[in-house]
Structure 1
Amino acid sequence: MVPALAIILLFQLVGEVVSRALHMPLPGPVLGMIGMVFALSASEGLRELIRPVAQGLLSHLSLLFVPAGVGVVAHIPTLVSHGLALALSLVLSTLLAIVVGAVTFTLVARAVRSYPDE
């Protein structure tokens, strides 16, 4: 278990070092995860070493949401005072994203002459 966790953290560390050294806009853990995906797809042994630890981490992933929940509870007065504005911005941004996605899909479908009704 310890070697597998060390490998996972090593990929995160390498991603962080590369991200900071090259001043990339991509976060280091994301770069590390991309590197780990390539490494796992290339090595069956690495996959088998990391699989049990990864499954254990994924089974307890909900624990990572606890700090976010505590943060929400800690800022309830702010949420109450700005609740209407937050709710309105969430609803409008969601609707805007849906509309932009639908329009983009339609334009791309027309560009490649493929229609959803066909």
Structure 2
Amino acid sequence: MIAAFALILVCQLFGEVVSELFDLPVPGPVIGMVLLFIGLLVKRKPPKVLTDAADNLLIHFSLLFVPAGVGVVTQIDRLKGDWLPIAAALTISTLLTMVLTALLMSKLFPKQDTAEKMEDAQ
């Protein structure tokens, strides 16, 4: 599992290097995960050690929110002053994401007629 975490961290490092080298407005970890994704697409099947590490990370996913929660607490005064625009941005972006996801899913998955749905249900 150490090799899998090392691979993830190396991808993050390359992402940071690319972000700094080209002065991109995208965070290095995001670029690193895109690089990892491209690597997995090329390989076609992720290595077992990488899927095990990912499963382990997902089990403890809630721990990854602790630093974000601490960041919110340290900025509580700013949040009190700007709560309305922040709440509006969160609400609008969430609704927009839901609508766009629904539209994309309706385009990607073919529609079944009612007879096929009944047959699939049985």
Residue type of the alignment partner of 1:23: D
Q: Are residue 50 (structure 1) and residue 26 (structure 2) matched?
A: no
In 1, Cα distance between equivalents of 2:91 and 2:57: 34
Mark the runs of 5 or more structure 1 residues left unpaired by the alignment: 106-118
Aligned length: 97
TM-score (ref. length: structure 2): 0.62
Deviation string, structure 1 residues 76-98 (Cα, Å, up to 9, x no partner): 5x26xx63x43322344457668
Mark the runs of 5 or more structure 2 residues left unpaired by the alignment: 101-122
In 2, Cα distance between equivalents of 1:43 and 1:56: 22
Residue type of the alignment partner of 1:8: I
TM-score (ref. length: structure 1): 0.64
In 2, Cα distance between equivalents of 1:93 and 1:7: 35
After TM superposition, list the pairs within 5 Å mapping 1:98-113 onto structure 2: none
Residue type of the alignment partner of 1:27: P
After TM superposition, list the pairs within 5 Å mapping 1:39-78 onto structure 2: 39-44=39-44, 46-74=46-74, 76=76, 78=77
Identity within the alignment, %: 39
CA RMSD of aligned residues (A): 2.9
TM-superposed deviation, 1:26:
1.3
Residue type of the alignment partner of 1:88: L
Match of 1:32 in 2: 32
In 2, Cα distance between equivalents of 1:94 and 1:71: 17
Larger radius of gyration: 1
